Chains A and B, each alone.
Chain A
Amino acid sequence: MRAAVLVIAALALFAPIAAGLWHSAGAALGHLPALGSVGPSLAPLQDLVTQPGFATALRLTLGTGFTATLLSLALAIALAAAITNGPARIISRVLAPFLAMPHAAMAVGLAFVLAPSGWIARALAPVFGWARPPDLASVNDAFGAALILGLVIKETPFLLLVILAALTQIPLRAHIHTAQSLGYGIGAIWAKVIVPQLWPLIRLPVYVVLIYNLSVIDMALILGPSNPPTAAVFIARMFSSPDLAQIMPASAGAILLGLLAVASIAALWGGARAIARFGPIWVRRGGRGAPLNTLFFGTAMLGGALLLLGAAAMVSLALWSLAWRWPWPMLLPESLSFAAWARALGDFGPELAMTALIALASTAISLVLAVAWLETQTPSRREALIYLPLLIPQISFLFGMNMMLLQFGAQGNIGAVIWAHLLFVFPYMMIALTGPWRGLDPRYAHAAASLGAGRLRQLWAVKLPLLLTPICAAMAIGVAVSVAQYLPTLFLGAGRIGTLTTEAVTLASSSDRRITGVVTSLQTTLPFAAYLLAFVIPKLAHKNRSALQGAAA
């Protein structure tokens, strides 16, 4: 049983990544028999690096990726300090919509708010006397500032959630009280006592965020610079080029980005090691760090402000989808209408159904796999391999995976897309399920066994009902992860499978904000509904079970 689950998981999750990397690496070295090219040669790499703008694209990727990651981490830490210190506790209750919101929808909403004709400019118009939208590149700016902002607004809530979960594993209160009795302020305590203990617990999710930020496509298309774009978009464009010979330099880029990702994780790891090595020199000086209080407070305020900006982005999607006339510089639409919704529901019905189908299928399969895994495998360090798909840039292996499926003639169908989604849905569901599953008091199952229940009945009649709340939460996360996927749908669907996400990215560059608003609102509705159900179902199922109500949060 144990071995069977291991083999199935390896075939489902590792085989496509290994094969994908293998095919990408082959094509990167000029080996692509389908096009009559036989390697190895370094020509594709030369071809890639001599492309105009590629060096700038690489710089942009590193700049936006690291800035967004470190900024999100700093904001999440400061917000966690503010939340656990009391006054900002409310923030931990409003994280769900930020987590559920697909990246593309958040990007479109932010573009609506930040654009020269957006909310911020409208609010400033009376102050500066702008009769027309100002001529500013406030979105798609050449430095990637808008992209960084979008990534930070999406990743800060995720890291905050991870940090709040990790904090339950360290004696936070007692350490804060001890350090306070020695004269330290909250900022200094977090910097010198809490964060060093926190880092080993949150390292892996921070790596995941870093890799995501270095290889993001959809947000970079909507908010990032366009000429040259970030490296991942640069490479994705070459893959989509009608000139098939471009596949080889594009594959070289995919592998290069993969190596860059490995080097980036190594750099972050090394940086953390250096801080752990030399940080105590700073701690030894014994500064009580009053300025650190101000720094933490300021950072938490910035975090709060960015979350408000994110909330404005969500509202602006809904508002644009309902706007009929919304002339400059009014802050609210002059008239509202359901016309765009009526039109889009007809036009985008198939995409809505496809998005829901892929999300439900990949979530259901992932759940079965996750339960099988948790029931049969003992905890070990090797388990970190589950997170491998999140630690490699998607573009590094997805096109290779597509080439592998092409050999079996299984490319461009819905099964391939679901499989690709599975690679990302499964690890996130495992993150959500592992703790509660292994934390369940084993005596419940033992009691059932002593009453004559076999393994299957223990699972079905005892464990699954007891774990209903985390299972529902994991499924909501699964749906949200699937709905947000862009590149897996695009590459494995070979352009023939359209979801609301691929439509949203295409529409983002169009001028019809109403239709874009409807499609992104619709895209957002799916994960929101999943989160709502995950909240309601355990409440209803355990209505008269007060011991299980507390866990439903």
Chain B
Amino acid sequence: MSLILQDICITPKGGAPLFAPLSLTIAAGQIGAVMGPSGVGKSTLLAAIAGHLPQGFALTGEITLNGARMNSTAPQLRRIGLMFQDALLFPHLSLADNLAFGLPAQIKGKAARKAAVEQALAAAGLAGMGARDPATLSGGERARAALMRSLLAQPQAILLDEPFSKLDTALRAGIRAFAFDHIRARAIPALIVTHDASDAAAAGGPVLNLGGQAG
């Protein structure tokens, strides 16, 4: 169980590569970090791993998840979860329905699905709030709910795109610890991009620096 990035390079059409070829191996339960200032292509890297490389960019190198090459797999079949700094809860669905959206269809029966959602809500400290409109949640609640939605989909790996950068500094460490604990408990590889050194330190896995240094 691991996520292996081998000589990854992203090149805009007719331009220079965004960064020098990048290699990183993240074992199950490990949280790797990619650091660098904004604009260096960190988000593009995550988009490429998730299968959303923007038009006009080319990807070279190998993305391997649990032994399977992912480069040309459709994004919805990669089983790679993605979390953004905006939690991106769907505004037309209740909080509980947002979580149910992530739950695999293989879990059948209204009662079983409801129980799974309730359990996830409780784990996120959101017990009893399932009927709420996501727009009425605080930033920290939204971030926890979005993480739970990603994890309910039973991903084989998870990518975090500056997920804590919009949170108050007071909340930040707590939510980060919450997210990292839950990811480690699943024993899946995770990769966070951030410009905050404390995120990378808390992740405790391999760290890569983009921007300036070849790496």
Residues of A that sit less than 8 Å from B by CB: 86, 171, 173-175, 177-185, 192-193, 196-197, 276, 280, 283-288
Do the beta carbons of B97 and A286 come within 8 Å of each other? no
Chain A residue nearest to B103 (CB atoms) is A286
Tell me which residues across on chain A come within 8 A of B50, comparing CB atoms: 177, 180-181
Q: How far is the CB of B85 from chain A (nearest CB, A)?
A: 11
Task: Assess whether B77 is interfacial by the CB under 8 Å rule.
Answer: yes
Task: Point out the residues of chain A lying under 8 angstroms from B79, CB to CB.
Answer: 183
Whether B88 contacts A181 by the Cβ 8 Å rule is no
Among all A-B residue pairs, the 4 with the closest Cβ atoms: A181-B82, A180-B75, A196-B92, A182-B153
Given A181-B153, A283-B97; 5 other pairs, CB 8 A cutoff: A174-B86, A174-B88, A180-B76, A181-B76, A183-B79
Query: Do B88 and A175 touch (CB < 8 A)?
Result: yes
Q: Which residues of B contact A181 (CB under 8 A)?
A: 50, 75-76, 78, 80-82, 150, 153, 155, 159
Q: Are B100 and A283 in contact (CB under 8 A)?
A: yes
Total A-B residue contacts, Cβ distance less than 8 Å: 86
B55 on interface, CB distance cutoff 8 Å: yes
Q: Does B57 contact A (CB under 8 A)?
A: no
Chain B nearest Cβ from A185, distance in angstroms: 5
Given contacts A283-B97, A284-B113, A287-B105, contact A185 B76 (CB under 8 A): yes
B97 adjacent to A280 (CB under 8 Å): yes
The CA-CA distance from A184 to B81 in the complex, in Å, is 12
Residues of A within 8 A of B88 (CB): 171, 174-175, 178
Counting chain B residues whose Cβ lies within 8 A of the other chain, the interface size class is: 35 or more
Is B42 in contact with chain A by the CB < 8 A criterion?
no
Could you give 13 example pairs across A and B, Cβ below 8 Å? A175-B88, A175-B90, A177-B47, A177-B82, A179-B76, A182-B76, A183-B77, A193-B92, A280-B97, A284-B97, A284-B100, A285-B108, A288-B105
CB distance from B84 to the nearest CB of A (A): 7
| Contacting pair B93 A283 (CB below 8 A) | yes
Name the CB-closest residue of A to B158: A181
CB distance from B133 to the nearest CB of A (A): 13
CB distance from A199 to the nearest CB of B (A): 9
A491 to B157, alpha carbons, bound, how many Å? 68
Contacts of B107 in A (CB 8 A): 286
Q: How far is the CB of B134 from chain A (nearest CB, A)?
A: 12
A286 touches B105 (CB 8 A): yes
Q: Are B101 and A286 in contact (CB under 8 A)?
A: yes
Question: CB within 8 Å of A: which of B55-111?
Answer: 55, 74-82, 84, 86, 88, 90-94, 97, 100-105, 107-108, 110
Chain A interface mostly:
helix
B positions within 8 Å CB-CB of A: 47, 50-52, 55, 74-82, 84, 86, 88, 90-94, 97, 100-105, 107-108, 110, 113, 149-150, 153, 155, 159
Q: B77, B90, B92, B101 — which one has the most chain A CB atoms within 10 A of its CB? A: B92
A185 to B51, CA, bound (A): 13
The answer on a CB contact under 8 Å between A180 and B104 is no
CA distance A284 to B50 in the complex (A): 24
B100 to chain A: which residues have CB within 8 Å?
A: 283-286
Minimal beta-carbon separation of B212 from chain A (angstroms): 28
Query: What is the CA–CA distance of A133 and B94 in the complex, to the nearest angstrom?
Result: 59
Known: A175-B90, A180-B52, A197-B91. A286 touches B149 (CB 8 A): no
- By beta carbon, the residue of chain A nearest B92 is A196
What CA separation (Å) do A193 and B77 show in the bound complex? Answer: 18
Nearest CB of chain B from residue A140's CB, rounded to whole Å? 43
* Cα distance, A374 to B88, chains bound together (Å): 34
Q: Which of A193, A280, A285, A288 contacts B76 (CB 8 A)?
A: A288
Q: A181–B92 Cα gap in the complex (Å)? A: 19
**Contact across chains for A193 and B90 when beta carbons are under 8 A apart:** yes
Report chain B residues within 8 Å CB of A192: 101
CB-nearest residue of chain A to B86? A174
Shortest Cβ gap from A181 to chain B (Å):
4
Report B152 CB to chain A, min CB distance, Å. Answer: 8
Rounded to whole angstroms, the CA-CA distance of A181 and B150 in the bound complex is 8
- Please state if B75 and A285 are interface contacts (CB–CB under 8 Å): no
Closest to A288 in B: B105
Which B residues are CB-close (under 8 A) to A285?
Answer: 100, 105, 108, 113
B93 pairs with A286, CB closer than 8 A: no
> In the assembled complex, which residues on chain B have CB atoms less than 8 Å from the CB atom of A193?
90, 92
A219–B51 Cα distance when bound, in Å, is 47
Q: Contact between B75 and A286 (Cβ–Cβ < 8 Å)?
A: no
Please measure, in the bound complex, the distance between the C-alpha atom of A252 and the C-alpha atom of B22, giving whole angstroms: 76
Q: Taking CB as reference atom, which chain B residue is nearest A182?
A: B153
B75 adjacent to A177 (CB under 8 Å): yes
Smallest distance from the beta carbon of B98 to chain A beta carbons, Å? 10
**Closest chain B CB from A500 CB (angstroms):** 44
CA gap between A175 and B55 in the complex, in Å: 17
Closest partner residue, chain A, to B84 (CB atom) = A174
Question: CA of A283 to CA of B99 in the docked complex: distance in angstroms?
Answer: 11
Are B75 and A280 neighbours in the complex by a CB distance under 8 Å? no
The CA of A285 and the CA of B93, in the complex, are separated in Å by 13
- Give the CA-CA distance A546 to B100 in the complex, in Å: 48
Give the distance in Å from the alpha carbon of A86 to the alpha carbon of B94 in the complex: 30
When distances are taken between beta carbons in the complex, the residues of chain B under 8 Å from A185 are: 74, 76
Residues of A contacting B153 with CB < 8 Å?
181-183
- A180–B51 CB distance below 8 A: yes
With A283-B101, A286-B105, A286-B107 known as contacts, the answer to whether A183 contacts B76 (CB < 8 A) is yes
B86: chain A residues within 8 A (beta carbon): 171, 174
Give chain A nearest CB distance to B135 CB in angstroms. 12
Q: How far is the CB of A92 from chain B (nearest CB, A)?
A: 15
A284 contacts across to B, CB distance below 8 A:
97, 100, 110, 113
State which of B47, B81, B94, B110 has its C-beta within 8 Å of the C-beta of A182: B81
Q: Which residues of A are found within 8 Å of B51, using beta-carbon distances?
A: 180
Neighbouring B residues of A179 by C-beta, 8 Å: 76, 101
Q: How far is the CA of A2 from the CA of B30 in the complex (A)?
A: 65
A405 to chain B, nearest CB (A): 47
Please tell me if the beta carbons of B92 and A197 are within 8 angstroms of each other in the complex. yes
| Smallest beta-carbon distance A267→chain B, Å | 22
Contact partners of B104 in chain A: CB under 8 A:
183, 286, 288
- Give CA–CA (A181, B80) in the complex, Å: 6
